[in-house]
Amino acid sequence: MACSSTRRRYRGVPSSLLSSSMQIFLTNLENDGRSLQLLPVDLREKCLNYMSLRGLLSDQNLKNVIHNNLKKLDLSTSSVTEAGLVNLDHCSKLLNLNLNSYHQEIRFSSLYH
pTM over 0.85: no
Q: Select from 55, 35, 54 the least CA-distant residue to 44.
A: 35
**Domains of the chain by residue range:** 2-112
Helical residues (DSSP H) of 1-113, grouped into ranges: 2-6, 17-27, 41-53, 59-65, 82-85, 104-107
- For 79-110, the pLDDT digits (tens) are 898 899 999 999 999 999 998 876 555 555 55
- For 14-56, the pLDDT digits (tens) are 778 888 888 888 877 776 688 888 889 999 999 999 998 888 8
Q: Around Cβ 88, how many Cβ atoms within 10 Å?
A: 17
